[in-house]
C-alpha cells in the first residue's frame, strides 16, 4: 500500500482513501452501533476525513495514512459512545456504573472485522425492502464513498432527489429493524442476486462512464472487484455466478489501459495496443471462469464472462465469432439490452457476413442510439457508400461528447 500511495498525486490521496476506507469505517461503526445509528457512523467517518484534510494540510501526510485514519475514527467513536453513556447515565443513574463496566468501548478495526462488517453491510444495503435504485445509490454512498453530487451525476438526477432517496431508504431499513448480518443460507441465493447486480452496476459505472477522470474510474472498477472478491472469500457466498461476475470484471479490466488514448479518446478494440493488455488479469479471469463452471445455473454473468474471455483472444477466427454470436443469442434471451443487441449484430456480421448482418441490423430500430448508426455505417462501409455516410452522419448528430464525434468524423473521412 505504501508504495502505491507514494507515487500517487498528493491531491488525489484523500479522494482515493475516501473511496477505499470510508466504507470500512462506516461498516465497522455501523455494525458496532446498530443500523439505526447509520448516520452517526457516516458522520464520524466524514469528520475523520475532514480532520485528516486539515491536519495533513498543515503537518504533512503521515507515514501510514490508513492507520492514522483508523486511529482518529476510533477516538471519535469512543467519544461518541462515552457521550451516549453519560447521557444514559443521567437518565438512569442507577445503572450507569454497571453499564460503564459492561460496555466495551473498544472499536475493532482488525482486517477480519472490517471484512465481515463490509460483507454484512453489503447485504443490508441490498435488502429487498428498498428499491433497486436506492440500493445502488446507498452502495455508491456507503460502500464506495461517492459524494451526493457524483451519485446524482451517475443517475442523471439532482442532489435533492438523491438525498431524499437515500434518506428514505435508510428510514425504511431502520423501520424494518434490519440486522447487520449475513442472510440465512435459505435466503442467500435470492439476496445475493441483488448484491451482484449492484456490484455489476458499480463496475459499469467505472468502466463505461465518460465523465470521470481515468483514476476515479479505475478505482471504481477495482472497488467493484474488491467487493466481489469478498463474496468469493466467504464460503456461504462463494457461488458459481459470483465467480462468473469476477471473471467478467477481470477480463474487462485487463484492457483498461489500452482502451483510452492519451487525450481521453476511446480506442476501439481492433485498434488497441495489445501490449497494454494486462496478462495477469486475463489469467485471473480464466481462473475465476473455471471456478464458475460448476452447478446447473447459467446466468448472464456466465455468458458475459465467456464473451469477455473471447475478447481477450485477439485472433480474428470464425470459431471466435461463431462462439460470441451464440453467447449473445443466449444472453439476449435471458436479458435484452440495446448494447447486447448491437454487439450480437456485430458478431453476426463477423461470423456470417455483412450483407446478412445489414438485414438483421436494419430491424433493430434503435433510432436514438449513436452506436446503432455507427454500426450501420460500419456494415455499409465497402458495400454502399451513400448509406454508410448517411448512417455515420446520423450517429454524429446524436453523439454528445467530443472524442466520440471525432472518431465518427474520422470514419466519414475514410469512406
Partner 1 sequence: MDEFILIFRHQDGSKIASPEQMQTWMKQTMDWIGGIASQNKYIGGNGLPLDNARVVRHNKIVTNGPFGEIKETLGGYIIVKAESIDEAVEFAKDCPILQGEGNTVEVRKIAKGDGTH
Using the minimum distance from each CB to partner 1, give the nearer residue, 31 or 350: 350
Using the minimum distance from each CB to partner 1, give the nearer residue, 202 or 340: 340
Q: CB of 349: closest distance to partner 1 in angstroms?
A: 12
Q: CB of 337: closest distance to partner 1 in angstroms?
A: 9
Angle subtended by helix axes 159-175 and 38-59, to nearest 10: 130
Using the minimum distance from each CB to partner 1, give the nearer residue, 87 or 336: 336
Question: What are the phi and psi torsion angles at 340 (to 5°)?
Answer: -65, -40
Q: CB of 294: closest distance to partner 1 in angstroms?
A: 24
Instruction: Output the CA angle 62-68-74, nearest 5 degrees.
Output: 165
Using the minimum distance from each CB to partner 1, give the nearer residue, 204 or 329: 329
| Rg, C-alpha atoms of the chain | 25
Which spans of this chain sit near partner 1 (rule: CB under 8 A)? Answer: 325-326, 328-330, 332-333, 336, 340-341, 344-345, 348, 352, 360, 363-365
Using the minimum distance from each CB to partner 1, give the nearer residue, 139 or 345: 345
Q: CB of 312: closest distance to partner 1 in angstroms?
A: 23
Which cell numbers in the block locate residue 154?
451517475
Q: CB of 227: closest distance to partner 1 in angstroms?
A: 30
Q: CB of 363: closest distance to partner 1 in angstroms?
A: 6
Using the minimum distance from each CB to partner 1, give the nearer residue, 231 or 375: 375
Q: CB of 302: closest distance to partner 1 in angstroms?
A: 17
Name the strand (E) or helix (H) holding 221.
Answer: helix 214-233
Using the minimum distance from each CB to partner 1, give the nearer residue, 155 or 371: 371
Whether the Cβ atoms of residue 180 and residue 30 lie closer than 8 Å to each other: yes
Torsion from C-alpha of 80, 86, 88, 91, nearest 10 degrees? -150
Distances (CA, A) of 251 to 200, 310, 350, 393: 14, 9, 21, 33
Angle subtended by helix axes 300-311 and 279-292, to nearest 10: 150
3-state secondary structure of 399: coil
Distance CA 197, CA 201 (A): 6
Amino acid at each position: 500500500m505504501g508504495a502505491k500511495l507514494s507515487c500517487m498525486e498528493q491531491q488525489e490521496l484523500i479522494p482515493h482513501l475516501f473511496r477505499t476506507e470510508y466504507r470500512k469505517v462506516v461498516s465497522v461503526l455501523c455494525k458496532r452501533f446498530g443500523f439505526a445509528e447509520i448516520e452517526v457512523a457516516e458522520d464520524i467517518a466524514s469528520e475523520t476525513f475532514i480532520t485528516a484534510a486539515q491536519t495533513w494540510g498543515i503537518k504533512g501526510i503521515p507515514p501510514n495514512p490508513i492507520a492514522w485514519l483508523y486511529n482518529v475514527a476510533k477516538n471519535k467513536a469512543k467519544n461518541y459512545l462515552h457521550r451516549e453513556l453519560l447521557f444514559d447515565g443521567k437518565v438512569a443513574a442507577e445503572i450507569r456504573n454497571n453499564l460503564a463496566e459492561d460496555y466495551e468501548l473498544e472499536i475493532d478495526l482488525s482486517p477480519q472485522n472490517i471484512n465481515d462488517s463490509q460483507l454484512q453491510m453489503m447485504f443490508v444495503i441490498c435488502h429487498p425492502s428498498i428499491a433497486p435504485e436506492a440500493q445502488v445509490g446507498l452502495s455508491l454512498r456507503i460502500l464506495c464513498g461517492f459524494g451526493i453530487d457524483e451519485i446524482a451525476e451517475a443517475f442523471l438526477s439532482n442532489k435533492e432527489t438523491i438525498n431524499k432517496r437515500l434518506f428514505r431508504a435508510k428510514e425504511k431499513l431502520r423501520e424494518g429493524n434490519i440486522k447487520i448480518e449475513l442472510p440465512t443460507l435459505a435466503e442467500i441465493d435470492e439476496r445475493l442476486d441483488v448484491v451482484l447486480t449492484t456490484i455489476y452496476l458499480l463496475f459499469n459505472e467505472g468502466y463505461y462512464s465518460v465523465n470521470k477522470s481515468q483514476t476515479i474510474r479505475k478505482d471504481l472498477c477495482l472497488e467493484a472487484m474488491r467487493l466481489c472478491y469478498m463474496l468469493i472469500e466467504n464460503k456461504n457466498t462463494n457461488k458459481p455466478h459470483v465467480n462468473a461476475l469476477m471473471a467478467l470484471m477481470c477480463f474487462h479490466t485487463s484492457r483498461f489501459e489500452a482502451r483510452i488514448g492519451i487525450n481521453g479518446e476511446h480506442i476501439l478494440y481492433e485498434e488497441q495496443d495489445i501490449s497494454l493488455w494486462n496478462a495477469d488479469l486475463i489469467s485471473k479471469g480464466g481462473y475465476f471462469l473455471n471456478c464458475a463452471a460448476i452447478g446447473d445455473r447459467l446466468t448472464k454473468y456466465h455468458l458475459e464472462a465467456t464473451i469477455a474471455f473471447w475478447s481477450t483472444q485477439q485472433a480474428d477466427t470464425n470459431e471466435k465469432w461463431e462462439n460470441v454470436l451464440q453467447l449473445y443469442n443466449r444472453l439476449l434471451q435471458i436479458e435484452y439490452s440495446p448494447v447486447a443487441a448491437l454487439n450480437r449484430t456485430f458478431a453476426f456480421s463477423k461470423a456470417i457476413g455483412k450483407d446478412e448482418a445489414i438485414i438483421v441490423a436494419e430491424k433493430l430500430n434503435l433510432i436514438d442510439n449513436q452506436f446503432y448508426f455507427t454500426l450501420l455505417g460500419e456494415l455499409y462501409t465497402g458495400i454502399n457508400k451513400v448509406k454508410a455516410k448517411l448512417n455515420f452522419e446520423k450517429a454524429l448528430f446524436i453523439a454528445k461528447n467530443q472524442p466520440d464525434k471525432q472518431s465518427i468524423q474520422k470514419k466519414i473521412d475514410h469512406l
